[in-house]
Amino acid sequence: MRRPTLATAVIAVAALAPAACGSSRSSPTAQARATTSTTVGQTQTATVTTVRTSTATTTTPGPGRCVAGELTLSSLGQQGGMGHGELGFALKNTSSRSCRTGGYPGVLFLDSAGRPLPTRPTRITRDFFGTTPVVRITLAPGQTASFRLGTTHEAQGAAGCTTAAGLQVIALDDTATLRTTVPDGAYECATVTVSPLRPGVTAYP
């Protein structure tokens, strides 16, 4: 029997090399890496879904607007000096829920019979009696907000001037009206400044 030569052995090893390289493409190590990559992608998608669900459940509505049916109007008094008059009024939350308000009420002077008088209001944040900026107000049941009116005192009997016996107010974001009397009446000449609502009775010193 003839023994294999060295050349024959080299040829046999070379023939086996391609087969070994081809088998490494489907090795267990490569399969494990592919599986790990897929698992990471699925975990990231699940995390995003969880965050969106959490955000959607955190919205909480606030209190609604104060309307005339939940409020009462009253006079806080009046004072004057140097040809100017100041009248204070309060709006009280008489309902069982909190409500929000702010800004300027609509106003109309009334005569002793409850009939409307000529009223030309001007909305202001500063007048003869000080500064009252616009603020947002939340009224709990029983709490009040206030505003003031400024009038000019012309000479008694001047054209367009008279004594108002009451005031009618339209609540913000509402069409219903509220009324109250003005004790001792208020001398006015149709033009009036209106301050924005303030918490408590701070609009009227």
* pLDDT in the model for residue 157: 64
* pLDDT in the model for residue 59: 54
Q: Give the model confidence (pLDDT) of 10-58 as tens digits.
A: 444 444 444 444 444 444 444 444 444 444 444 443 443 444 444 454 5
Amino acid sitting at position 21: C
Eight-state DSSP code of residue 35: H
User: Model-level pTM?
Assistant: 0.69
Region at 104 (left for phi over 0; alpha for psi -120 to 50; beta for the rest): beta
Q: Give the model confidence (pLDDT) of 97-143 as tens digits.
A: 999 999 999 999 999 999 999 999 999 999 888 899 999 999 999 99
Q: 74, 179 in Cβ contact below 8 A?
A: no
Q: What percent of the chain has pLDDT over 70?
A: 68
Region at 160 (left for phi over 0; alpha for psi -120 to 50; beta for the rest): left
Buried-state track 155-176, b at ≥16 Cβ within 10 A, e below 16: eeeeeebbebbbbbbebbebee
- What does the block give as tokens for 142? 């029983």
Q: 164, 110 in Cβ contact below 8 A?
A: yes
